[in-house]
Structure 1
Amino acid sequence: MADDDARTTACTGSSLLQPVSEITDLPLDQVNFVVCQLCALISAFWFRLFLHPSKTSPFIRHMVATLLGLYFALFCFGWYALHFLLQSGLTYGIMILTGVEHMHNPMMVITQKITSLAFEIHDGMARKEEHLTAGQKILAIRRMPSLLEYFSYNCNFLGILAGPTCSYNDYIAFIEGDPRRHRDQEADRKSNGKPRQSEPSPNVEVVRKVATSFFCLLVFLSVCKVFPVERNIDDDFIANTPFYAQVVYLYLSMLTTRPKYYFVWTLADAINNAAGFGFNGYDGDGSPRWDLISNLRILNIEFATSFKVFLDNWNIQTAHWLKRVCYERCPYHPTAATFILSAMWHGAYPGYYLTFLTGIVITLAARAVRHNVRPHFLHSPTHKLVYDVITWAATQIAICYTVVPFVLLSVGPSIKFYRSWCFSLHFTCILLAVALPVKPRHLRLKDQQKGLQRRLEVADANCSQKEKST
């Protein structure tokens, strides 16, 4: 009875589905979340079919997307959903009052969409065109959003519960019915001289992603209790288990925690696709791509052969946000600054900071190995295969070692785990980063530019010689 009461009071949202929670033995907040996401999936199909941009105005689409989003938030979170309105309203006021020159500064550690929007407005209305990168030019916002557009972008039903985040321009283009208007569409329009369908159906992709998400959910429910992460810090386990077995168990315990993220993010992606949002052009064979706002690539994660590849395919939209608002703009130590911002964004638990501080060290070491060691293994396919196998194993163990505090959250258990490993990866990575130095990013970019310039000069010289000979 006490467990039932705890389950009921832990959820601030609707108790309508309490019977389902009791039947499935799942917390009510999780039941509410999954049901709301399934309702959002159905609503997304309806939104695309009956409120298509060819049938209704952007005002109606913005209004419906916002109201549905707020309703789902109220159902899941109850009065806590006021946080969405309060945060969005306050930050919109800040944007209007501070002006485009300074609006990006007071929002650095709030939410992804708000900070992205602030920087994109600053890029589009306060900076000169020649000072923007190619990516910043695409995403730059040239006019101040209306209040309705702003609330629709932040609180729409497609992403209010689980994201993923997206750029403002992409979202507005979707609402107004031209999802690729501000990007280069030339490659999308023709394939071998043949015009392509301007608005392909997402149905096949949605079915695939929904099936994938529920397969991941079944896997998680089947194995999540078999390899609990907490056993990694159990005294008997540490004392009586050989180190190689501890390594294997660490990998299995972290491997079985990932499917829950796969379920949530893949289903969220499917919901957006069902509404027609997420189209990203065509592959070389003419197949439509629906990965504009995808948050992960499962196979690339599980078979990653470097720390960077893993991070590039995990929580992709958050990585894009960190790159756009921090890494590309931070003049000093951008890697460290990006990891620290990521920890601050995740929350106040000390485990987040331990994870991301460890991530800085491992990233620097992985970069050093890649730049200094990898070239020696590229001379033959066999050597490359050996390198890939070794780096896959090293990457998986390094990721597991790094994210244990992210799961444990508290300082004591996290330090206990690292102590049981004698902080071995920390020390190893520091030694690698010191022994195998890598040039700073701005110097690497200069070298690349010099190399490109030399190749162009050689090409020009060859052309001149051919012209003389003819």
Structure 2
Amino acid sequence: MEQTGIKYKTTGCTWLQSVSEVVGFPLDQVNFLACQSLALLAAFWFRLYLSPQHVSPLVRHAVAALLGMSFIVFCFGWYSLHIFMLVFSCYCIMIKANADNIHRYSLMVAMGYLTICQISRAYIFSYGILSTDFSGPLMILTQKITMLAFQVHDGMCGNPGELTAEQKRLAVPSKPCLVEYLSYNLNFLSVLVGPCSSYKDYVEFIEGRHIRGRLSLANGKQSGQDSWPEPSPMRAVTHKLLVCLVCLFLFLTLTRALPIAHNIDPQFLSEASFMSRLTYAFFSVQAARPKFYFAWTLSDAINNAAGYGFKGVDKNGLESWDLISNLNILGIEMATSFKTFIDNWNIQTGVWLKCVCYDRAPRNRMALTFLLSAVWHGVYPGYYFTFLTGIPITQAARIVRRNFRHHFLSSAALKLGYDVLTWAATQLAISYTVMPFLLLATEPSMRFYSSMYFHFHIISILVVISGHLVAGATKRHSYQAHHSNNNVKEN
């Protein structure tokens, strides 16, 4: 009866229902994995048989878009209409709106539609229907639509003197045609889980200029090198697929063995000590990461298999295929500060936020960027608990680093001890901060924080207050000393 209910509720294709029942995974996850596996095979075919040397850019654009649209329909059924409606609505804005306002209109429409869909799914329709969760592709689509709109605005209306070097490089001087627009937004390489990349980089990939342009930079920097052979992505793809297998194994073992929901289990909260609860929170959040690692690394491998994502060659001649990578697993797991963790997690979303908000806001850039990020993620209270909790903890970490780090740089042993201590503190703080993000609702989030006695909130706020008091006292002391010196000189 349970499987029948799932089959009845599913809006995506049900061809793999029997596979879902055999392996014990929800049908939406089976459909997703099937599409990504097919996308990997299609990516090799796209690079080898639909290369720019064999077919025109128009053919590559059309094939990439049609495959991506097919994957969307397969996974989400009639819910895919939401995605297509947003794409075509924003394309109408692209061709009809004045370039002076194209970025504003696109941002309002894309973010507005995304928010409406998220509210509807969270509070009007049943959130338990996993296979109808089309918000992921819609979130990626919102990034692409708005990033392109801002880059078209830069290319057609931007004052070169006011643009940053990166904005100048990525500026789009003319509006794309419909096929190009659909290809960029709905291509099979990134339509399901991303990542978002710049329109200019994507078009260079489609037209066959992506690798050549970056190799020319390497050739110019390498003395004695007149040319560089075109690199193969196979080594990078193989490495990333092996990482995916490890992450899948960890998901099937650790993630299932350490469920997040156990953090708020009444019996566990009543019987376990504080240290036991804190330890479980740490390991359960660590165990929740492999599913994100798997999805993003697989998507990265798919793009690389198609020949997209080449970053360049370093001074030692080593090739990098991490141009559009969405995470750095080692950087995340070894992070010794909040900033390091954020810089290595969901990297392309950070690039998007910088492009459409942080670099353009006239004031309060950090606050506006946090607000946009929170709204983009969704409407669940847990998301906002996470962002609000992260603010004082981030400020406290900066104060501690500024006032104490230099005391530990006199020897390698002290520096190692400091790194170990800050790693443990950072990972515990991350676990504490992101727990509501995983629990979603208000009541479970508050239950967890209550079981933790709000200790990170209290400690971080006290550190911030102390830091401001010390800074104020130091400033007053410096002012008084300076004033006294001036009086002595006058006398």
> What TM-score comes out, normalization by structure 1 length?
0.89
- Spell out, residue by residue over 1:134-177, the C-alpha distance to the aligned partner (whole angstroms, 9 max, x if none): 11111111111111111100000000011111000000000000
Question: Are 2:197 and 1:166 equivalent residues in the alignment?
Answer: yes
Q: Is the 8 A contact 1:138 1:182 kept in 2?
A: no
Q: What is the rounded CA distance, in whole Å, between the counterparts of 2:178 and 2:49 in structure 1?
A: 24
SS in 2 for 1:4: helix
What residue in structure 2 maps to residue 97 of structure 1? 96
Q: What is the rounded CA distance, in whole Å, between the counterparts of 2:11 and 2:44 in structure 1?
A: 29
Pick closer, same or farther for the CA change 1:196–1:415 going to 2, 3 Å.
farther
What residue in structure 1 maps to residue 73 of structure 2? 74
What residue in structure 2 maps to residue 398 of structure 1? 429
Q: Is the 8 A contact 2:211 2:230 kept in 1?
A: no
CA drift at 1:25: 0.8
Q: What is the rounded CA distance, in whole Å, between the counterparts of 1:332 and 1:361 in structure 2?
A: 20
Q: What is the rounded CA distance, in whole Å, between the counterparts of 1:117 and 1:374 in structure 2?
A: 41
Q: Is the 8 A contact 2:326 2:348 kept in 1?
A: yes
Q: What is the rounded CA distance, in whole Å, between the counterparts of 1:233 and 1:336 in structure 2?
A: 31
Deviates more, 1:351-360 or 1:361-370: 361-370
Q: How does 1:140-289 map to 2 (within 5 A)?
A: 140-179=171-210, 185-189=216-220, 191-197=222-228, 199-289=230-320
Question: Are 2:314 and 1:309 equivalent residues in the alignment?
Answer: no
Over the aligned positions, Cα root-mean-square deviation in angstroms equals 1.8
List alignment gaps of at least 5 residues for structure 2.
115-141, 470-491
Deviates more, 1:405-414 or 1:380-389: 380-389
Pick closer, same or farther for the CA change 1:165–1:327 going to 2, 3 Å.
same
Q: What is the rounded CA distance, in whole Å, between the counterparts of 1:399 and 1:171 in structure 2?
A: 34
SS in 1 for 2:210: coil
Pick closer, same or farther for the CA change 1:198–1:359 going to 2, 3 Å.
farther
Pick closer, same or farther for the CA change 1:188–1:406 going to 2, 3 Å.
farther
Q: Is the 8 A contact 2:215 2:228 kept in 1?
A: no
What residue in structure 2 maps to residue 460 of structure 1? none
Pick closer, same or farther for the CA change 1:329–1:130 going to 2, 3 Å.
same
Pick closer, same or farther for the CA change 1:150–1:285 going to 2, 3 Å.
same
Q: Is the 8 A contact 1:189 1:196 kept in 2?
A: no
- Spell out, residue by residue over 1:33-89, the C-alpha distance to the aligned partner (whole angstroms, 9 max, x if none): 001000000000000000101111110000000000001111111111122221111
CA drift at 1:184: 9.1
CA drift at 1:368: 2.5
Deviates more, 1:186-195 or 1:53-62: 186-195
Question: Which letter maps to 1:92?
Answer: Y
Q: Is the 8 A contact 2:300 2:326 kept in 1?
A: yes
Match of 1:337 among 355, 368, 382: 368
- Spell out, residue by residue over 1:220-266, the C-alpha distance to the aligned partner (whole angstroms, 9 max, x if none): 11122211111111222222222122111111100111000011000
Q: Is the 8 A contact 1:279 1:292 kept in 2?
A: yes
Match of 1:139 among 146, 170, 174: 170
What residue in structure 2 maps to residue 121 of structure 1? 152
Question: Which letter maps to 1:74?
Answer: V
What residue in structure 2 maps to residue 290 of structure 1? 321
What residue in structure 2 maps to residue 61 of structure 1? 60
Match of 1:359 among 362, 379, 390: 390
- Spell out, residue by residue over 1:255-310, the C-alpha distance to the aligned partner (whole angstroms, 9 max, x if none): 11100001100000000000000000012321111000001111111111111111
Question: Which letter maps to 1:292?
Answer: L
Q: What is the rounded CA distance, in whole Å, between the counterparts of 1:383 and 1:311 in structure 2?
A: 26
Question: Which letter maps to 2:28?
Answer: D
Question: Which letter maps to 1:68?
Answer: L
Deviates more, 1:84-93 or 1:102-111: 102-111
Pick closer, same or farther for the CA change 1:196–1:251 going to 2, 3 Å.
farther
Q: What is the rounded CA distance, in whole Å, between the counterparts of 1:317 and 1:181 in structure 2?
A: 23
SS in 2 for 1:398: helix
Q: What is the rounded CA distance, in whole Å, between the counterparts of 2:312 and 2:16 in structure 1?
A: 40
Question: Which letter maps to 1:276?
Answer: G
Aligned length: 437
Question: Which letter maps to 2:96?
Answer: L
What residue in structure 1 maps to residue 46 of structure 2? 47
SS in 1 for 2:336: coil
Pick closer, same or farther for the CA change 1:137–1:220 going to 2, 3 Å.
same
Q: What is the rounded CA distance, in whole Å, between the counterparts of 1:124 and 1:432 in structure 2?
A: 45
List alignment gaps of at least 5 residues for structure 1.
439-470
Q: What is the rounded CA distance, in whole Å, between the counterparts of 1:331 and 1:373 in structure 2?
A: 33
Question: Which letter maps to 2:430?
Answer: I
Question: Which letter maps to 1:138?
Answer: R
Q: Is the 8 A contact 1:173 1:181 kept in 2?
A: no
- Spell out, residue by residue over 1:307-352, the C-alpha distance to the aligned partner (whole angstroms, 9 max, x if none): 1111111111011111221222223332222222111111121111
Q: What is the rounded CA distance, in whole Å, between the counterparts of 2:232 and 2:9 in structure 1?
A: 40
Question: Which letter maps to 1:390?
Answer: L
Pick closer, same or farther for the CA change 1:112–1:247 going to 2, 3 Å.
same
CA drift at 1:412: 0.6
Question: Which letter maps to 2:329?
Answer: I
Question: Are 2:442 and 1:411 equivalent residues in the alignment?
Answer: yes
What residue in structure 2 maps to residue 348 of structure 1? 379
